[in-house]
Each structure stands twice: as C-alpha cells, then as structure tokens.
Amino acid sequence: MRILSGIQPTNVPTLGNYIGAIKNFVKMQNENQDADILVFVADLHSITVPRDRKDIKKNIRSLAALYLASGLDPNRTHIFIQSEVHEHAELGWVLECNSYIGEMERMIQFKEKSAKEGASVTTGLLTYPCLMAADILLYDTNLVPVGEDQKQHVEITRDIAIRFNNKYGETFVVPEPMIQKSGARIMSLQDPLKKMSKSDPNPKGYITLLDDINEAKNKIKRAVTDSIGIVKYDTVNQPAVSNLMTIYSSFTNMSFDEIENKYSGLGYKEFKEDLSEIVANELTKIQTKYNEIINSNELDKILDEGRDYASRIAYKKMAKVYKRIGLGRY
Ligand code: AMP
Ligand code: TRP
C-alpha cells in the first residue's frame, strides 16, 4: 500500500495544518509498518498566487524540517520537494488535457481564492487540481491523508484517474482520501465559523508551529468563546469552545466526554489555562527538534534520498503514460 500527501510551503504551518494533516501523516507512518509513505513539499503549488522568492526558499526548507520535527521518520517516510521531481509538472500538463474547465471552476477552493484575487487570477489557480492529481497518480497512491478542505481535490483526482483509465487503458490507481473524524477542520481562534488559515490577515486567529511560545499561549487565552460558560462539545451552540476542545483532545487523546467531565463546574479560564500549557508543550517539543535540524546537512541528505526515490517511481509512470497516449517515439 502506498500513502502520499503534501503541504504548500506558504508561510509557516498552523495548528490546523498540524492537527488536520501532519499529525495524521505521523500516525499513519507509525500504524502502517508495511506501507510505503511519501510526503512532499508542494512548492509548485505555492506559486498560483504571487510569492516573494526569498520567502518561498525559506519556507520550503522550513516545512521539510517541520515534517521531521513533528515525527516523520526518514527511515520510514520519503520526504522530497515537488519541483525536484520534474514529472509532477509533466503529468500535470497531460491531466489538464484530460479534464474540463467546468469541473475546475466548480472547485470550492478555486471559487474562494479567485474571489480574493480579483482580476489577477492566474491560470494555475484554475488548473491546480490537475497538478494535485498528478502528484497523487504518479505514485500509484492508495491513500491520501488530508484535511477536510482537500477532499474535493482528491475526489476530482479519482474522476480524472477513472476517465484516463477508461480512455487509454489501465494506467492509474484510483486513490482514496483519508480524513480524520476529529480535527480535519480546525477553526480560527477569533472566528469559529472560519477555517484556521495561515493566510488570515488577523494573526490572533491562528497559531503557527514556530510561534513564540508565550505568544501562542496568549492566543489561546484570548481565543473567543461564548457567554454560556460551560465546557461542552456542541458545534452548533458553542462552536468556539468546541474548536478549542478539538485541539485539546487531539493533543491529549482525551475524548470530549472526558474533557467535559474534567471541567464540569469550572469556567473557561481554567480550561484555557490548561490548553495553553498543552499547546505550549507540544510546540516546545517541535521547535526544539526543528532547531536541531533546520541548518543540518542531515536535512539535505534526507531530501536528496527522497528526491531520488520519488524520481525512480515517477520516471517509470511517466513513460507508461506517454506510451499509452502515443507521445514520443516509444
Ligand atoms: P495547505 O495549508 O492548504 O497547504 O494545507 C495543508 C494540509 O493541511 C491539507 O491537508 C489541509 O486540508 C490541511 N488543513 C489546512 N487548514 C486546516 C485546518 N484549519 N484544519 C484542519 N486541516 C487543515
Ligand atoms: N493542495 C494541497 C493543499 O493545499 C497540497 C497538496 C498538493 C497535496 N498536492 C497534494 C495534498 C497531493 C495531498 C496530495 O493543502
């Protein structure tokens, strides 16, 4: 079985990315001893909207180091940078020619992001799901662990794979999304109806994995709640507290019932104090390891190995795709 996923190197990953995606990669790695696991830095994806060159460079390395700091083990998981395996862009093109503008325009993420970009929406923002489909289909991926917001992109990947297989003969494995039951959509600390996002203009709404520890604690303590005053998991009437409970539960493995019992009769203050310590501990662990890795040669060795491993698989698949379609001489 093969498991694959990636994250865009835009800004620093948030607690949402961590709980919805990275922690899940680590869990899958630890629970599936015979699976072949690939996790990459989706740098080609990060240029669908304008980015500063220096920022991109910094974020690519930083994300790779955060994968390792979060518990991805290079002996188990191949970590690589998307643009270093050129078949991603190549297959992306082929898939663009086997998908329809209408289905790209229906993607929720495209609708949201293009509304923000106004007149300067790039073609890449529209065709992005084809590149994501290429990332997945190049490797005969069976399972794709992602947060809730990427489900639609995995579904279109399935449609494209099935369509290609029908047209050209069996070529791609049809993948399944892997979305956790809890934590797949962590909300903003300032607005529980909005997804926690690293591009939120209000930094109080999110915590990144590299935030200053005290600042992160304060963000939890100042997170919005409600006037009900009872620690209870109720996403309809108490969405903000429920969101904080999701973070709590994800870091302690306690169930919502257990958390409710622990804080019954107590107010939000105690609950938030404890949560701020829990988050601080988790961030401290990650940051300590991150600082050891970020400037090491070890990181480059791991990324070289990952690139070489991924390239061997991608090369073979691409040759097969061209052959099926009739491109080139062979
Ligand atoms: P992105 O930051 O868009 O590259 O997302 C990387 C991964 O994190 C994807 O699997 C997303 O689904 C996941 N993700 C992003 N934001 C959140 C969030 N607020 N809650 C849970 N998962 C998220
Ligand atoms: N599109 C994903 C995101 O924005 C990142 C991504 C790119 C990805 N290619 C992928 C995730 C392939 C899983 C599999 O979060």
Residue 168 binned pLDDT confidence (cut-offs 50, 70, 90) = very high
- Closest ligand by atom to 10 CA: 1
CA distance 189 to 243: 8
Locate the ligand 2 atom nearest the alpha carbon of residue 42 and give its number: 7
195 Cβ closer than 6 Å to some ligand 1 atom: yes
Cα of 42 vs centre of ligand 2, distance in Å, is 7
Cα of 46 vs centre of ligand 2, distance in Å, is 10
Give the model's pLDDT for residue 295. Answer: 86
DSSP string for 171-208: -----EEE--SSSSSPBPSS-TTSB--TT-S-GGG--B
pLDDT by residue (tens digit) across 77-92? 999 999 999 999 999 9
Mean pLDDT, all residues of the chain: 95
Mutate which of 8, 17, 187 for ligand 1? The one with the most ligand atoms within 8 Å of its CB, which is 17
Radius of gyration (C-alpha) of the chain in whole angstroms: 21
Cα of 92 vs centre of ligand 2, distance in Å, is 13
Is 243 within 8 Å of 192 (Cβ atoms)?
yes
Instruction: Note the maximum CA span of the chain.
Output: 75
**Enzyme catalytic residues:** 113, 195, 198
> Is 156 a residue whose pLDDT tops 80?
yes
The protein residue whose alpha carbon is closest to atom 15 in ligand 2 is 7
Give the model's pLDDT for residue 110. Answer: 92
CA distance 26 to 119: 40
Give the model's pLDDT for residue 84. Answer: 98
> Is 243 a residue whose pLDDT tops 90?
yes
- % pLDDT > 70, the chain: 100
Give the residue-averaged pLDDT of 57-83. 97
CA distance 259 to 249: 8
Give the model's pLDDT for residue 180. Answer: 87
Give the model's pLDDT for residue 330. Answer: 76
Give the model's pLDDT for residue 118. Answer: 79
> Which residues have any ligand 2 atom within 6 Å of their CB?
4-8, 42, 45, 132, 135-136, 144, 146, 150, 153
Mutate which of 8, 77, 143 for ligand 2? The one with the most ligand atoms within 8 Å of its CB, which is 8
Give the model's pLDDT for residue 120. Answer: 87
Is 59 within 8 Å of 10 (Cβ atoms)?
yes
Give the residue-averaged pLDDT of 254-282. 96
DSSP, res 291: H
pLDDT by residue (tens digit) across 177-221? 999 888 889 999 999 999 999 888 999 999 999 999 999 999 999
CA angle 111, 80, 165 (to 5 degrees): 60
The protein residue whose alpha carbon is closest to atom 22 in ligand 1 is 20
Locate the ligand 2 atom nearest the alpha carbon of residue 45 and give its number: 7
> Is 291 a residue whose pLDDT tops 90?
yes
> Encoding tokens for residue 90?
């190549």
Residue 309 binned pLDDT confidence (cut-offs 50, 70, 90) = very high
Cα of 189 vs centre of ligand 2, distance in Å, is 24
Give the model's pLDDT for residue 138. Answer: 98
Locate the ligand 1 atom nearest the alpha carbon of residue 198 and give its number: 2
Mutate which of 149, 197, 199 for ligand 1? The one with the most ligand atoms within 8 Å of its CB, which is 149
Give the model's pLDDT for residue 52. Answer: 92
**3-state DSSP helix/strand/coil percent for the chain, to nearest 5?**
60, 10, 35
pTM: 0.94
Locate the ligand 2 atom nearest the alpha carbon of residue 149 and give its number: 15
Distances (CA, A) of 214 to 2, 78, 183, 222, 277: 39, 33, 23, 12, 10
Higher pLDDT, 267 or 233: 233
Locate the ligand 1 atom nearest the alpha carbon of residue 196 and give its number: 19
> Is 135 a residue whose pLDDT tops 80?
yes
Give the model's pLDDT for residue 116. Answer: 83
Give the model's pLDDT for residue 54. Answer: 94
The protein residue whose alpha carbon is closest to atom 11 in ligand 1 is 147
310 Cβ closer than 6 Å to some ligand 1 atom: no
The protein residue whose alpha carbon is closest to atom 14 in ligand 2 is 5
CA distance 322 to 330: 8
- Closest ligand by atom to 143 CA: 2
Give the model's pLDDT for residue 299. Answer: 96
Which of 146, 35, 157 has its CA nearest to residue 95? 157
